[in-house]
Structure 1
Amino acid sequence: MELLKLSNQLCFPLYALSRKVTSHYLPLLDKIGLTYPQYLVMLVLWEENGVSVKELGYKLMLDSGTLSPMLKKLEDRELITRKRLKEDERVVIISLTETGEKLKERGAEIPEQIKCSLELTDKEVREMKALATGLLDKINKIEAVHNN
């Protein structure tokens, strides 16, 4: 069947592309001592310091079971702190430490390095992000309808 050819699938080029793009991040992140998922956590915190684990999970589309060990490692490295709210001890707030804030300077170089590594123009980056974000938004809306 023609429909079952790998070359006709939407999922495969997206999967392969994700793996390839992420692999370009790894040597850059290694220099600053972060894994790719840890980098994503730090990006959220560099943008908005002091977020709850729930909010972090929502932004990164990760569950707390995935986030917890990663946050523990970042805390062990003294890049973040985890504090329970006094008003509601179920809520854990993640904040940058001074060391975590300083790492932002080194992290700021990565987007441009990635763009150069992949030989992309600003326009190509914008177009790919728009397509990917549009598809992700569409999938999230479909899932929201089916989950309610």
Structure 2
Amino acid sequence: MAVVGIDDQLCFALYSASRAMTAAYRPILAELNLTYPQYLVMLVLWEEEQVTVRRLGDRLHLDSGTLSPLLKRLEAGGLISRQRSREDERVVEVTLTPEGRRLSGRAECIPEQLFSATGMTARDAEGLRDAVRRLTDALSASEGRKDS
């Protein structure tokens, strides 16, 4: 059996698309003084206002070792605050600051800017997003079965 070439590999297509998407976000997010991973954290907080570090990690599929430095930089920038829960000191809660809330208004146009750069129809983009989610779910489930 012949090895499938790199251009025919699904993993490489996804990797390339991810890098291209992140690169497309870079100049837009630079205006907000955010990196792409920081933007993802802010998206969750703009949705939920306050979350635990654990929930944030679950939503973004990030471990605490990756998340902690992101949160530290966002806190230093005045966009979030972190506090230990009063009910359980092991739990750290992340909350938007007023400045973090105000930033959401400046970020509202970002999805539209990126969508227009793709040249895709809304239907195509939704179909691709849903297919990638199904792939992620299937791979996560498969990984979970291996750990058992």
C-alpha distance in 2 between matches for 1:96 and 1:70: 14
Are 2:63 and 1:63 aligned?
A: yes
C-alpha distance in 2 between matches for 1:31 and 1:41: 17
Q: Gaps spanning 5+ residues in structure 1: where?
A: none
C-alpha distance in 2 between matches for 1:57 and 1:40: 11
Q: Which residues in structure 2 correspond to 1:22-101 (within 5 Å)?
A: 22-101=22-101
Bigger Cα displacement from structure 2, 5-14 vs 78-87: 5-14
Corresponding residue for residue 116 of structure 2: 116
Question: The residue matched to 1:3 in structure 2 has which SS?
Answer: coil
Letter in 2 for 1:83: Q
Runs of 4+ in 1 over 6 A off after TM superposition: none
C-alpha distance in 2 between matches for 1:81 and 1:117: 34
How far residue 146 of structure 1 moved from its aligned partner, in angstroms, is: 2.2
Normalised to the residue count of structure 1, the TM-score between the two structures is 0.95
Deviation string, structure 1 residues 76-121 (Cα, Å, up to 9, x no partner): 0110000001221110000100000011111111000001112222
Corresponding residue for residue 106 of structure 2: 106
User: What RMSD, in angstroms, separates the aligned Cα atoms of the two structures?
Assistant: 1.1
How far residue 18 of structure 1 moved from its aligned partner, in angstroms, is: 0.6
Question: The residue matched to 1:134 in structure 2 has which SS?
Answer: helix
Contact 1:2–1:8 under 8 Å retained in 2? no
Contact 1:79–1:96 under 8 Å retained in 2? yes
Question: The residue matched to 2:31 in structure 1 has which SS?
Answer: helix
Question: The residue matched to 1:51 in structure 2 has which SS?
Answer: strand
C-alpha distance in 1 between matches for 2:48 and 2:33: 21
How far residue 21 of structure 1 moved from its aligned partner, in angstroms, is: 1.2
Corresponding residue for residue 132 of structure 2: 132
Are 2:17 and 1:17 aligned?
A: yes
Normalised to the residue count of structure 2, the TM-score between the two structures is 0.95
Q: Percent identity?
A: 46
Contact 1:53–1:92 under 8 Å retained in 2? yes
C-alpha distance in 2 between matches for 1:122 and 1:16: 21
How far residue 7 of structure 1 moved from its aligned partner, in angstroms, is: 2.2
C-alpha distance in 2 between matches for 1:104 and 1:69: 21
C-alpha distance in 2 between matches for 1:90 and 1:4: 48
